[in-house]
Each structure stands twice: as structure tokens, then as C-alpha cells.
Structure 1
Amino acid sequence: MFEKIIFKCLGVGCLALSFSACTPTLVEHAVNTEVPVGYNDSQDTSNIAEMKWKEYFTDPYLTALIDTALSNNQELNIMLQEIEISRNEVQARKGEYLPSVGIGAEVQVDKVGRYTRNGALEANNEIRPGEEFPEPFSDYMIGAFANWEVDIWRKLRTAKKSAYKRYLSSVDGRNFMVTNLVAEIANSYYELLALDNQLAIVKQNIEIQRNALEIVKLQKQSARVTELAVRRFEAQVLNTMSLQYDFQQLIVETENRINFLIGRFPQPIARDYDVFSELATDSVQFGVPSQLLQNRPDIRQAELELQASKLDIKVAKANFYPSLGITAGIGYQAFNPKFLLNTPESMLYYLGGDLMAPLVNRKAIKAAYFNANAKQVQAAYDYQRTVLNAYIEVVNQLSNIQNLQKSYDLTARQVEALTQSVDISNTLFKSARADYMEVLLTQRDALESKFDLIETKMKQMNAKVNIYRALGGGWN
């Protein structure tokens, strides 16, 4: 008996070798996983990406917004359902390589014509001496039945591993969405604070320009200036007043952008805009590039997709080999319910197996095999592109932080100089040592420089958010 089993196994092995010899060969694409040693020759491994977002963002109003968004954001909730779908796919793949067992019962009534083959046989035979076939003929059956594809080449198990990799990939996809969502809310929040401060500056300048307009009107009465000066100062006041409505509209739009992200209808966003000028823009700890491979969810997602695509090639290759299927069943069957459980007379059972190998449809199998390989090559390129993009994002933000700090320092000095120039021009104008155009131009330049300073501060805060996102922070 053992010799028969050995010969059968040898036969299946030889058959598999003959089919594997006909399997097309593929050219593998090597994946380059090397990254630079450090950023700007730095070897410090301290990394802000390891901080939780509640530690990195300390503004209580901002953290409350992010908390709400993580619960209510529609896109994030859609992604959670994608994760659930991927988890169910893993269970489905697992069920494919386990036996399919079911139980069932069947009742049927059959009446055949007397002058047919079956009818003549029933008429001329007896079930037992003196007991003819009942008419019509009833049939009762109950039993358990099983089908099983024996996973000889581990095709089904490999497909399950591939589905599991994609499930993990969907989890990292959700984490990457969380990272982007946190960054988008933080950037919009800092933009909102900047707009609040710019609106406050506009209102302050309106009061300053109104006072200047009153002085010019008095000087006109004393014939020191003309009506032209009065009109120019009045136009300046009206122009500045119109700016406040532009900023009010931008504030409404920015608030509603945040409301959309946190999944609620338009309403005011709670915040304290007075703290904007005091927000810290300290230097960040950015670690080393190799940490991106673990911290960035999009890199891990691309890596898992690459691993899954490699497993898909093995699944596609296994389709060239023979498949072994086993069917079995056991139960009871009788024409009368009172005989249904008679053992062994009413018992039925069967056991069968089939060995099938592709012969005619090999072109379709080859096409699927080559497609799996092409998708694996795509995944390899996507992984390399994702790593390269992550590294460039970090380098860009590090450079941005340095340049913005220098720009902010220079703009602050410009604001200080122009603020003093406004006072000087007003004094000179009162003593007739400067004309009204110098006063107007100085006020305009001072206002624009204050806007620029706030804009630069907002860019600094955005850079602080973006470097945190680029390093892979915000999802944990």
C-alpha cells in the first residue's frame, strides 16, 4: 500500500515538473532600498515624528478640532470601511483552502410512465416479497457533503497571505490619511489665526488714518493744504476699510474649510488669535532618512503592496500546475421516512477525487502570469518613488524652515523701521516739512509690511506642520 502511495506521489511530482518546465520565465526588477545617510550630514536620531500629535500641537482649540475630525471626517470613515473590506477579504481567502462542508435534506416525488424503461422495471420488481414500488415514488435524503481543493502548491495559502498584506496596506493607507488630515487642519487653523491678526491690523490702521484725515481737514481750513490732500487721505481711509471685508470673507471661507474637515455644518471656530505672534518656531529634530522607512505610513503601504504583488506572482504561477479536488458525502436516503435511519440499509456515502491540469487555456493563464509580474514591477517603482518623494519633502521643509526664519527677522526689522517712519512723516507733515504724499506712501508701506510679517509667521507655522507630516508624524 505504501508503495502505491509513493508511486502516486512520484507521479504527481513528475507531472508538476513537466508543467513547471513550461512555465514562462520572468525578469525580476531589483528594488533599491538605500537612502542617504543623513540630512545635511547630521547623524542625530532624535525625531519629532515619534511624538504624538497631542504632544506636538499644544493649542487646546486646535487639539479639540483634530479630535473631532478623527471621529467625524467622512473620508476617514470611508477609509475605515475599506479596511473592513480588506479584513473580510483575508477571511474569504482563508476559507478557500479549508474544506467546504455543508448539511442538507432533500425530499422529492417522482411519477414515471408505466410504459417507460423505469416504469416497466418498477412494475416487474418488488422492494420486498409482496411489496411493490410505491406510486408515486418518494425519495427522502439527509446528509453531510464536503468539497475540498487540496492546496498542493500552496496557491490558496499564498493568496491568503497576499490578501493579508493588502489588509495591512489599507491600515497604513488610513494612517497616511490621518497624517494628512491632522496637517491640513493645523495649517488651516494657523491660516485662520493669521487672518484674524491681519484684520485686527486693518482696523487699527483705519483708526490711525481717520485721525490723520481729521488733521488734514483742519489744515485745509487754515489754508495749509488743498482739497486734493483731503480727498487723497479720504480715499486712503476708504481703501483700508474695504480691506476688512476681504479679510472677513477669507475668515468665513477658512472656518468652513475646517468645518468640512471635521464633518459639521458651518459655525464659528473657537480660537485665541492673540497667541499667534507668540507661537514658537523652534528648530526641529528630524532624525536620519532611514527612519522614514518606518515612520512614513505611505512608504510602509507601498512596501506592503510590493510584498503582496510578489505573492500574486506565485499564485499566478501555481495556475500552471495540476489541481487536486476531493469530494465526499455521507448520509441516509430512503423512499419512506420510516426507513430513513435504518443502518446500514439506508446509509449512503461517496468519496471521489479529480486531478486537473490546464491544457487548452494556457494563453489566459500566461496573460494573468505576465500581468501579475507587470503589477509587481509597478509596485517596485511606486515604492522607490514614494521613498524618494518622502526624502525630498523633508529636505525641502528643512530648507524652508531656515529661509523663513531669516526672512522673518528681516521683515520684523522692516516693520519696526516703517512704523517709526509713520510717526516721523506725521510729525514732518504737521510742521510742513513733508507733503501729504509722503505720509500716505509711508502708511501704505507700513501696512503692507505688517501683512508680510504675519504672512511669514503663518508660513513658519505651516513649515512646522509640514515637516512633522513629512517625517511621518501625526498618525500614532
Structure 2
Amino acid sequence: MIQTLLRYRFLFFLFAASLLLGSCKLGKHYTRPQLELPETLDSLSVDTTSIGDYAWEQLYTDTTLQALIRKTLTYNKDMLIAAARVKQLAAQKRIDYANMFPQVGLRVYGEHERENYGGDHVSMDDQFDLKGTVAWELDLWGKLRWARDRSVAEFVGSVENQRALKMSLIAQVAQSYFELVALDNELSIVKKTVDARSESLHLARIRYEGGLTSETAFRQAQVELARTATLVPDLERQITLKENEIAFLTGEYPHHINRSVLPEDVMFPVSLPVGLPSALLERRPDVRQAEQALIAANASVGVAYTSLFPNIALTATYGAESDLLSELLKSPHHLITGTLTQPIFAMGKNRARLKAAKAAYEQALYAYEKVVLNAFKDAYNAIAEFNKIKEIYETRLRLEQSSKSTLELAQLQYMNGVIGYMDLLDAQRGYLDAQISLSNAIRDKQITMVNLYKALGGGWKE
């Protein structure tokens, strides 16, 4: 009885010592790298608010586009893969967390054995066991806690990756949609131009047959009609490819995509809030994902470092064992063991593992800095485009209006014989180019807003 009390007292003190030592966590704790960030993102704004804080429904008001985005976020295969990845790492996080606690098991064993070592000496050697087991690796140096921190960082990183993917998909669907609408508008412009070229050819035929113009003007009218007509199938091909691209993003097979018509113009406010540089690090999920990868790499260094120290594992077994099943519960059994494992010689494997973990951390650090640089490059490019796209649109609008007036005047003068067909042809070509250029400017205004919204980390919520 006294020996049993002494044994349990020893276990109590060992358990208390393990709890005290468990507070020790060797290794360098993570701190965010010091980055020399720019003071502002936009010289015209120092407001802390940002368009990136808006919900994407507030930015993309076209209900058809909203339906496509919602379908993409639900059925896109990359989104489904990312969601499954989050589930996987959530389970892995739970595993590493459970490793910090004692593992309890139950062992039920029965053996019926008949022995005969020659002659008639037959004997029975049965055995029956019923035992409960407890195994616990003491986390004296913080190895298990570093492993838990790593799995937590990897899990959070997968969540940030899912958010970054959501941000990218919203931008990709919106851009493809605006490009599709612009292609529709360009096709409409070309078809109207083909009709106008047909009328010009008819007029050129009449004037040629009437002896008012040479055959050269008539043949040139035929060439221009054929040249413009070749644009139609190419645009139809581009439209089909763009529809297939959007269908793929939404997780569907190729089919016709419903869309609205190109607006006459996209109205922009004088300026948009872009927020402060430091907030960009918190708002963009790709930056946050890169930081979580850095945190995980730092935890891996902690795991490798603490692996250089001894491991202590406790094992306890309590139950009963007997050679007769009827006597099983009358035969108590208990066993308590402690194992200390200290690496002594492994040809430098453990220290090499630590060096490899440190090198991996260095890579993650540079990767994080690269992502931050890329985030600021995206933001500055998007802001520069936003500040200039309005001016580009206005100049192309004036060009389109001037080209239209020039064409109307050229048609009147050609009908009255003041100018030749080549002059009319130049005016027609100029007006077609100006119309397409203006359509592209409207498209670019919409895409500029998409790029700015994405660059500032818009498109997802906590």
C-alpha cells in the first residue's frame, strides 16, 4: 500500500513538473517584418476609407453581371478546390492540437494456445487482457506547440487563399463580361458599317455606269465592302470564345451568355478613396496569405530547433490480465513507464533539418516582401489608369464626334461631285476607327474600375 502511494506521489510530481516546464517554448517568436511603406497611395487623397471596403454588389450594379458573379463564387471549380483545401487544413489543425494532450486507448486481447513440445506433454497457455492505456508526450520545449502554430497558420493561409481567389474571380468575371459587351457593340458598329458600305457600293455603281466616275472608284468600293465584311466573322469568333471563357468561370459547359448593352458612358466621380498604404496589407488577402506562410515557416523553424532537445513520453496501463477468462477481473495489472529520447549522433541530420527550415523561412520572407511590392505596384498602376482614363475617353469622344461630322460633310460633297470617292472613303474609315476606339474607351473605363477595386483588396468580406 505504501509503495502504491509513493508511486502515485511520484506521478503527481512528474505531472506537475511537466506542466511547469510546459510553459517553456524555445525558439524565436514571429514578428511582422519591418517594411518601408510609401506614405500615401494617392497624392490626391489621404482618407483612411477605401473603395476596397465596398461590397462588390455596390460596384457592379448590372444585375446580369451580379448573377454571373454569384454563380461563379458557388460553382467555380477553383473555388470548390479552395474550399476543400480549407476543410483539409482545418482537420490537420485539429490533429496537431490533439497531439498536445494525453492519448487514451483500450486494449482487449484474448489468446487460446495449445503447446506440445514432443511426446504427450500437451499444455495450454491461454491469455486474456483487458487494459486501458494512456500515452502522453510532454511538450517540454514547445515542439508540439510550434507544430500547432504551424498548422494554424497553414489553415488561416488557406482561408486567405480562398478570399484572394474570390477577389480574383470577381474581377475576372467582371472584366470578361465588360469585354463581351464591348465586342457586341463593336460587332454592331461593323454591321452598320457593312450596310453603309453596301449603299456606297450601290451609289458608286450608279455613278460609274452613268459615266460620272471611273471604274477605279467602283472597284475600290467593292474592296472596302469586302474588307469590312471580313471583320464580322472574326468578331463573332471572339464573342464565342469570350462566352466560353465566362461559362468556364461559372463552372458550366459552353453556352450563350446573357448580357446587357454597352452604356453610352461610365460615370466616374472626380476622385475615389483609396485608403492608406498600411491598410493595404490588411485588406489584400494575397498579402495576408503570404504573411501566414511566413508565420508557418517560422513555426517550422521552431519545430526543427526543439527537435534537438530530449523527448519525454509517459505511458500508463491499468487493467487486468489472466490465463483464465473467468479469473480476468480478479487479476489487476498496472504499468507506468517513462521514456527519454535524446538524439546523439545522426550524421548531422537534425542540424541540417534546422538549417533547411531556416532557409525555407528566408524564402517565405522574400516571397512575402515580393507580394507586398506587387500589391503596391498593382495599386499604383490602377490609380494611374483611373486618373487618365477619363481624359482618354473625352479625347476619343471628341474624335468620334468630329469624324461623324466629317463623314456627313464628305457624303454631301461626294453626292454633289465636289470630292472624289477616295476622300469619302477616308472619311468612312476614320469614322469606323473612331467609333471602335470610343467603344473600347468605354470598356476600358469599366475595366479600370475593376482593376482599381481588385488592387485595393475589394471583393470579399470577413
Counterpart of 1:301 in structure 2 is 289
Q: Is the Cα–Cα contact under 8 Å of residues 178 and 474 in structure 1 kept in the other structure?
A: yes
**CA distance in 2: counterparts of 1:471 and 1:261, whole angstroms:** 22
Counterpart of 1:48 in structure 2 is 51
Counterpart of 2:333 in structure 1 is 348
Quickly say closer, same or farther: Cα 1:394–1:75, change in 2 above 3 A. same
Q: Is the Cα–Cα contact under 8 Å of residues 334 and 340 in structure 1 kept in the other structure?
A: yes
Quickly say closer, same or farther: Cα 1:169–1:431, change in 2 above 3 A. same
Counterpart of 2:162 in structure 1 is 174
Q: Secondary structure at the match of 1:256?
A: helix
- The Cα shift of 1:135 comes to 2.9
Residue identity in the other structure for 1:360: F
Q: Is the Cα–Cα contact under 8 Å of residues 148 and 325 in structure 1 kept in the other structure?
A: yes
Counterparts of residues 298-337 of structure 1 (less than 5 Å) = 298-337=286-325
TM-score (norm 2): 0.91
Residue identity in the other structure for 2:40: G
Counterpart of 1:32 in structure 2 is 34
Is 2:241 aligned against 1:253? yes
- The Cα shift of 1:444 comes to 0.9
Counterpart of 1:395 in structure 2 is 380
Quickly say closer, same or farther: Cα 1:8–1:206, change in 2 above 3 A. closer
- The Cα shift of 1:180 comes to 0.4
Q: Secondary structure at the match of 1:355?
A: strand
- The Cα shift of 1:452 comes to 1.1
Q: Secondary structure at the match of 1:140?
A: strand
Counterpart of 1:270 in structure 2 is 258
Q: 1:164 aligns with which of 135, 152, 157?
A: 152
**CA distance in 1: counterparts of 2:328 and 2:11, whole angstroms:** 37
Q: Is the Cα–Cα contact under 8 Å of residues 48 and 285 in structure 1 kept in the other structure?
A: yes
Residue identity in the other structure for 2:75: N
- The Cα shift of 1:142 comes to 1.3
RMSD: 2.8
**CA distance in 1: counterparts of 2:151 and 2:250, whole angstroms:** 32
Structure 1 residue runs of 5 or longer lacking an equivalent are 13-19, 124-133
Is 2:125 aligned against 1:137? yes
Q: Secondary structure at the match of 1:266?
A: coil
Report which stretch shifted further, 405-414 or 169-178. Answer: 405-414
- The Cα shift of 1:264 comes to 0.5
Counterpart of 2:68 in structure 1 is 65
Q: Is the Cα–Cα contact under 8 Å of residues 102 and 137 in structure 2 kept in the other structure?
A: yes
Q: 1:460 aligns with which of 407, 424, 445?
A: 445
Superimposed CA distance per residue, residues 289-342 of structure 1 (whole angstroms, 9 cap, x where no aligned partner): 111011100111111111222222111111111111111111111222211112
Residue identity in the other structure for 1:461: Q
**CA distance in 1: counterparts of 2:365 and 2:388, whole angstroms:** 35
**CA distance in 1: counterparts of 2:409 and 2:117, whole angstroms:** 124
**CA distance in 1: counterparts of 2:160 and 2:278, whole angstroms:** 18
Counterpart of 1:101 in structure 2 is 104
Is 2:240 aligned against 1:240? no
Counterpart of 1:227 in structure 2 is 215
Quickly say closer, same or farther: Cα 1:268–1:51, change in 2 above 3 A. same
Structure 2 residue runs of 5 or longer lacking an equivalent are 1-5, 19-24
Q: Is the Cα–Cα contact under 8 Å of residues 42 and 274 in structure 2 kept in the other structure?
A: no
Aligned pairs, how many? 447
Q: 2:266 aligns with which of 279, 290, 293?
A: 279
- The Cα shift of 1:150 comes to 1.0
**CA distance in 2: counterparts of 1:30 and 1:307, whole angstroms:** 9
- The Cα shift of 1:8 comes to 8.9
Quickly say closer, same or farther: Cα 1:339–1:30, change in 2 above 3 A. closer
Counterparts of residues 361-400 of structure 1 (less than 5 Å) = 361=346, 363-400=348-385
Residue identity in the other structure for 1:36: P
> Based on CA coordinates, which of the two structures has the bigger radius of gyration?
1
**CA distance in 2: counterparts of 1:75 and 1:84, whole angstroms:** 14
Q: Secondary structure at the match of 1:171?
A: helix
Q: Is the Cα–Cα contact under 8 Å of residues 266 and 445 in structure 2 kept in the other structure?
A: no
Superimposed CA distance per residue, residues 48-68 of structure 1 (whole angstroms, 9 cap, x where no aligned partner): 111111111100000000000
- The Cα shift of 1:153 comes to 1.2
Q: Is the Cα–Cα contact under 8 Å of residues 193 and 276 in structure 1 kept in the other structure?
A: no
Q: Secondary structure at the match of 1:112?
A: strand
